[in-house]
Amino acid sequence: MAHHGEHHYNLEQRFDFTAATKKSIMTVLVIGAILLGIGIVLAMTGGHHEEAGEAGGHAFHWYERLYANLWINNVFFTGIAIVGVFFFAIQFAAQAGWSTPLLRVMLSFGNWLPIAGLLMIATFFLANHDLFHWTHAYLFDQNDPQYDKIIDGKGAFFYWPMEKGTFPVFYIARMVLFFGFWVLFFNKFKKISDQEDQLGGTSHWFKMRSWSAYFLVFFAVSSSISAWDWVMSIDTHWFSTLFGWYVFASWFVSGLSAITLLTIFLKGRGYLEMVNENHVHDLGKFVFGFSIFWTYLWFSQFLLIYYANIPEESVYFIERLSSDVYGGFIFVNLGLNFFLPFLVLMTRDSKRHGVFLKLVCTILLVGHWVDFFLMIQPGTLGHNGGIGFMEVGMFLVYGSAVALVVLGGLAKKNLIAKNHPMLEESYHHHI
């Protein structure tokens, strides 16, 4: 077993979620809430003058911006939570040994999933007409002057088996199904992990491997469809065939950055002493590699649409690039998510030292939030959007809530998979 040999690591260690750490996170939450409050007051008192929006000519109301922000953060943090579980499952599918001491760190992000699901469903019921153009019944009524043939053609994807324009049964059912199964798999992984800690042996590893395989198949389908449902359907006429990949790449980089930050945080507190700079280097390589992968997809989507020059497709980029509100953020998006990580993490040493990774992973988390902001706000708010107190405040509130839930979940169980058959191998990991 792993505790023989020359290594005397503490395999019973648990993360102690101290009052001081909780207080720091609560402070960020309170600051976020204050900024959010200021943002709401500014929006209510006409920091944004009410004018007819482009979509359907309705007057703009301050709460629409609040809803759009809820949606951005719901989608963004759901992605980080599910990627933690996904990366955990990948380790078993790939029979990876190096990552054994980090498994519980990855899995802990799944603790946010049940809350994320409830928030997502609640926000949809609260805000569907303000976020999703396709929820308006008149689009499906052939006698209405605002009848929309294209959206009517896509209506069954949202409303089946009900009448189009009534209640989006199929859409809600998919949302409930995806979150339900994600939480189910997450709980199954937790349960098998607990059994392995108590009983030892290799049977749990094999069991986890087959459950991981099922999960990965389900995740492949559900992550793409959820990207179409939750993000792409906002711009209902527009579609991109690689959009599921693109959202996944954005989620994956964010999730990897969060896993890396949590690992470095725990090491700084004296936990995970068997995790050395070789393990950190591997996390750095993942972050580096997938930030390039995200850029590749961003560019593929952009170049094909630019080159084909079909109005239905190019409108997506034109309304972002030519906008006073969003035009600059396209370049911020590429700068934060590609150029900075690419240049900073290029050398070997920068991927082995916490200080560089802390910087890059923090930048990437902000950068990919901006990515989702660019996917969601233009289609929901048009020229009434932007980044102000409300956006920053909501991001901080969500981020600190996720931190509390994830760290709280992490503190409940062993930090190390002490009976994992590949633990010894991970001690000797060297690159």
pLDDT one-digit tens code per residue, 368-419: 999 999 999 999 999 999 999 999 999 999 999 999 999 999 999 999 999 9
pTM of the model: 0.96
Query: Average pLDDT of 71-79?
Result: 98
pLDDT surpasses 90 at 55: no
pLDDT surpasses 90 at 47: no
Instruction: State the pLDDT at residue 7.
Output: 78
pLDDT category at 42 given cuts 50, 70, 90 is very high
Supply the mean pLDDT for the chain. 95
For helices 277-308 and 327-334, the axis angle rounded to 10 degrees is 140
pLDDT one-digit tens code per residue, 212-250: 999 999 999 999 999 999 999 999 999 999 999 999 999
Distances, alpha carbon 132 to alpha carbons 191, 365, 373, 374, 377, in Å = 38, 26, 15, 16, 11
pLDDT surpasses 90 at 346: yes
Q: How many residues does the chain have?
A: 431
Gap between the Cα atoms of 400 and 22, Å rounded = 10
Q: Which two tokens stand for residue 259?
A: 């896993």
pLDDT surpasses 70 at 56: no
Cβ–Cβ under 8 Å, residues 216 and 86 = yes
Cβ–Cβ under 8 Å, residues 153 and 89 = no
Gap between the Cα atoms of 82 and 80, Å rounded = 6
Express as a percent the part of the chain with pLDDT over 70. 96
- CA 54 to chain centroid: 29
pLDDT one-digit tens code per residue, 169-212: 999 999 999 999 999 999 999 999 999 999 999 999 999 999 99
pLDDT surpasses 60 at 168: yes
Q: Which two tokens stand for residue 307?
A: 């080159």
Amino acid in the structure at residue 398:
Y
For the chain, the 3-state helix, strand and coil shares in percent, each to the nearest 5, are: 75, 0, 25
Distances, alpha carbon 376 to alpha carbons 229, 275, 318, 333, in Å = 12, 38, 15, 14
Instruction: State the pLDDT at residue 51.
Output: 46
Q: Domain segments of the chain: what residues?
A: 19-47+56-132+208-427
Gap between the Cα atoms of 267 and 15, Å rounded = 11
pLDDT category at 280 given cuts 50, 70, 90 is very high
